[in-house]
Amino acid sequence: MTERVLSIDGFLHGGDYNPEQWQAMPEILERDIALMQEAHINTVTVGMFSWAALEPQEGDYHFEWLDQVFDRIEAIGGHVILATPSGARPAWMAKKYPEVLRTDEYGHHLEFGERHNHCFTSPIYRAKVAQINRLLAERYGQRQGLLLWHVSNEYGGECHCALCRAAFQDWLKARYGTLGKLNTAWNTAFWSHTYDTWNEIIPPSPTSDSTLNGLNLDWRRFVSDQTMAFYQNEIGPLRAITPDVPITTNFMADTANMLPFHGLDYQKFAKQVDVVSWDCYPQWHNDQESDAVMAMKVSMINNYYYHLKNQPFLIMESTPSQVNWHPFNRAKRPGMHELSSLQLVSEGADSVLYFQLRQSRGASEQFHGAVIGHDGSDQNRVFQAVTKVGADLQQLQPVVHASKVPGRIAIVYNQESNWALDDAKDFAQSTKRYWQTLQDHYAYFWMRNIPVDVVTTDADLNAYQMVIDPMHYMMSEAWMTKLKAYVQGGGTVVGTYLSGIVDKRTLAYLGGWPKPLQDIYGLKVLETDTLYPKQKNGTVLNDQLFVFKDYCAVVKDQGATTLVQYTKDFYADTPAVTRNKFGQGTSYFQAARGGADFLTAFYDRVLAEVGIDTEHLVKADQGVSVQQRQSGDKLFTFVMNFTQAEATYQLQQTSTDLLGQKTLPPGDHRLPGYGVAVFQSDRK
């Protein structure tokens, strides 16, 4: 694939802008441009939901308002990120071609309204989208201001119309070739679900089938693939007319717990975009966890999305203040906007973009935070905080394009396995917590500022000293082979309960725990006990008592060394945590789920045993995050205080503070609550 990089020499600062909502008030555009300059804004993202303004009647196009935006932005030397409008469509289209809208899982065909509710298969919608995209590319493809294509908006959801059903059947035909293979893969002999013809297969729904795991998983895969096929249709004309302009589509995360969006396989999707971008809306200052914990969760998503392509990503949306759709929409405390924005940059973002530049006057997002509020003022707290970030980003110019300092430790996440585990009828739905368990492991490293990479199963494991692979429920044989070679060659792996149970079809592995895993870990998993929330088991490690909860696997060692045993129940005194030498490498297995205290004791010991060097790291108080990017012979160190109290950190070498423009000697320094400092130093 041709490499298309963003041609920028500084950070992008700006965001979603909707001048089509202000066409009756032309003075607004002029005022906004002046305010943007004042806030050091250099980028606008336009066109996301503009189809009705672009094509108010079929074939009747109006681009003048958009031409004006390009003219004004180019006049101030800014960038335009141009969106394709497929996320919402004009009323005439829905009326004339009802098939462009989705059918829900109950078979209800949707009527006009809302957004993000189009059929991904409809040939008419695909043709309409390709047509408007072609016109946009022809008209704006050569504009100097055009930086990047923003394809559609936050793809997600599914459609159950007849067209999608037929496409699903075709997708299955291509995947399995014969119905015999499909019937085996889904184990359809169960409950007489055997299919005789392809068109008997119906997507899972509450009115058809929701209990056939293989069907459920393949439907998720299909929905994800069909979304990508729709995306490919969108980008056809863009690639043809503007082959050098990079393309992205904005990815999402579930904000309550900062989980990767569940509906799409981003591991696959990322290969089809030139640059990954995502929309980041953390619930800062909530009443359940500290800002530091929230920062850790955001960090993990940044980390994962960075490693989807191993390159800097864009923050396509974030809020300058609060959103309007969290359960409680808190304002950011003073300092938090700067801190939370620079956190994104510290973890590999080359932009701080907002939803939205100007607040809508009406409709559902009228009270969502914006750079320019209803008061139209540059004097309010939000505008000033945004202006500060704009000024910071200018000071940080040398950091743009810099890569993240690579970790020596990797944590593996697999979206397909998440789907499969989520759907498995066993264990306990409320305690599976796959990503949250990875967060528990990630937290150990984040709190100590030990660089760790969150990676997919595509990662080159040999780049790492240690690979942490928890709860890998649906594990392919290819992954087992890869892991085995890695450990054999000298790597260290950490595995856990609920791993290696089903294959890529969701069929259980036969004959006990898979042989390659038995070899790696030197043990066999015999059974898994699921505990009720109030039930606990435990262990003793370094003379300290630790609690196990939720899952306790009973294992039989076959050469592994038992590090600790269970204290209770019929599996008392059997191995709970083991270590095994395999080939040149080492494996650790956590048969049960421990809490943060257990993970701390465990990783303290493992890091010492593996010899992971933490000496050279920047030391800082609890709640202070240190993240580093590097470029050429320069190292950029971000020190961020996610607590309200003043905190201390320690510089190891003379460093230049890029924000304060001063040079600090090695030794202890102080950061105010919610403070952030960014240092440039020489790479050793």
| Binding interface with ligand GLA (CB under 6 A) | 153-154, 279, 281, 317, 323, 355, 365, 368
178-198 in b/e burial notation, b at 16+ Cβ within 10 A? ebeebbebbbbeeeebebeee
For strands 544-557 and 523-530, give the pairing.
Answer: antiparallel
The least distance separating ligand GLA from the CB of residue 16, rounded to whole angstroms, comes to: 6
Q: Which residue is nearest to ligand GLA (CB)?
A: 279
Out of 55, 154, 347, 416, the active site residue is 154
The least distance separating Zn ion from the CB of residue 203, rounded to whole angstroms, comes to: 10
The least distance separating ligand GLA from the CB of residue 284, rounded to whole angstroms, comes to: 14
Contacts of 210 (CB under 8 A, 6+ apart): 204, 216
- Say if CB 411 and CB 644 are below 8 A apart: no
Q: H/E element holding 203?
A: none
Binding partner of residue 159 among Zn ion, ligand GLA, none, CB under 5 to 8 Å per kind?
A: Zn ion
Is the peptide bond prior to 356 cis by the omega test (within 30 degrees of 0)? Answer: yes
Binding partner of residue 402 among ligand GLA, Zn ion, none, CB under 5 to 8 Å per kind?
A: none
Alpha-carbon separation of residue 4 from 90, 242, 317 (angstroms): 32, 11, 22
Binding partner of residue 161 among ligand GLA, Zn ion, none, CB under 5 to 8 Å per kind?
A: Zn ion
Closer residue to ligand GLA, CB minimum distance, 294 or 461 = 294
The least distance separating ligand GLA from the CB of residue 230, rounded to whole angstroms, comes to: 17
Q: What's at 72, amino acid-wise?
A: R
Closer residue to ligand GLA, CB minimum distance, 104 or 365 = 365
Residues engaged in binding Zn ion (CB under 5 A):
119, 121, 159, 161, 163-164
Binding partner of residue 582 among ligand GLA, Zn ion, none, CB under 5 to 8 Å per kind?
A: none
Binding partner of residue 291 among ligand GLA, Zn ion, none, CB under 5 to 8 Å per kind?
A: none
SS3 per residue for 418-479: HHHHHHCCCCCHHHCCHHHHHHHHHHHHHHHCCCEEEECCCCCHHHCCEEEECCCCECCHHH
CA distance 405 to 304: 14
Binding partner of residue 153 among Zn ion, ligand GLA, none, CB under 5 to 8 Å per kind?
A: ligand GLA
Residue of 82, 9, 14, 18 lying closest to 353 (CA atoms): 14
Binding partner of residue 121 among ligand GLA, Zn ion, none, CB under 5 to 8 Å per kind?
A: Zn ion
The least distance separating ligand GLA from the CB of residue 160, rounded to whole angstroms, comes to: 24
Closer residue to Zn ion, CB minimum distance, 103 or 188 = 103
Closer residue to ligand GLA, CB minimum distance, 55 or 279 = 279
Alpha-carbon separation of residue 57 from 52, 70, 83, 95, 201 (angstroms): 8, 23, 20, 12, 39
307 φ, ψ to 5°? -80, -5
Q: How far apart are the first and last CA of the chain?
A: 34
- Say if CB 197 and CB 169 are below 8 A apart: no
CA atoms within 13 A on the CB side of 322: 16
In the block, which residue shows the tokens 């956590």? 590
The least distance separating ligand GLA from the CB of residue 62, rounded to whole angstroms, comes to: 22
The least distance separating Zn ion from the CB of residue 422, rounded to whole angstroms, comes to: 23
CA distance 95 to 385: 44
Q: Where are the beta strands (DSSP E) in 142-286?
A: 146-150, 247-248, 250-251, 253-254, 259-260, 277-279
CA distance 44 to 50: 14
The least distance separating ligand GLA from the CB of residue 591, rounded to whole angstroms, comes to: 40
SS3 per residue for 13-46: EEEECCHHHHCCCHHHHHHHHHHHHHCCCCEEEE
Closer residue to ligand GLA, CB minimum distance, 151 or 576 = 151
Out of 317, 338, 347, 416, the active site residue is 317
Closer residue to ligand GLA, CB minimum distance, 355 or 383 = 355
Closer residue to Zn ion, CB minimum distance, 159 or 620 = 159
DSSP 523-542: EEEEEEEEPPTT--EEEEET
Is 317 one of the annotated active-site residues of the chain? yes
Closer residue to ligand GLA, CB minimum distance, 259 or 640 = 259
Closer residue to ligand GLA, CB minimum distance, 315 or 389 = 315
Binding partner of residue 279 among Zn ion, ligand GLA, none, CB under 5 to 8 Å per kind?
A: ligand GLA
Binding partner of residue 386 among ligand GLA, Zn ion, none, CB under 5 to 8 Å per kind?
A: none
> Which three-class secondary structure state does DSSP give residue 306?
helix
The least distance separating ligand GLA from the CB of residue 657, rounded to whole angstroms, comes to: 33
Q: How many residues does the chain have?
A: 684
Residue of 206, 120, 125 lying closest to 159 (CA atoms): 120
Residues noted as catalytic: 154, 317
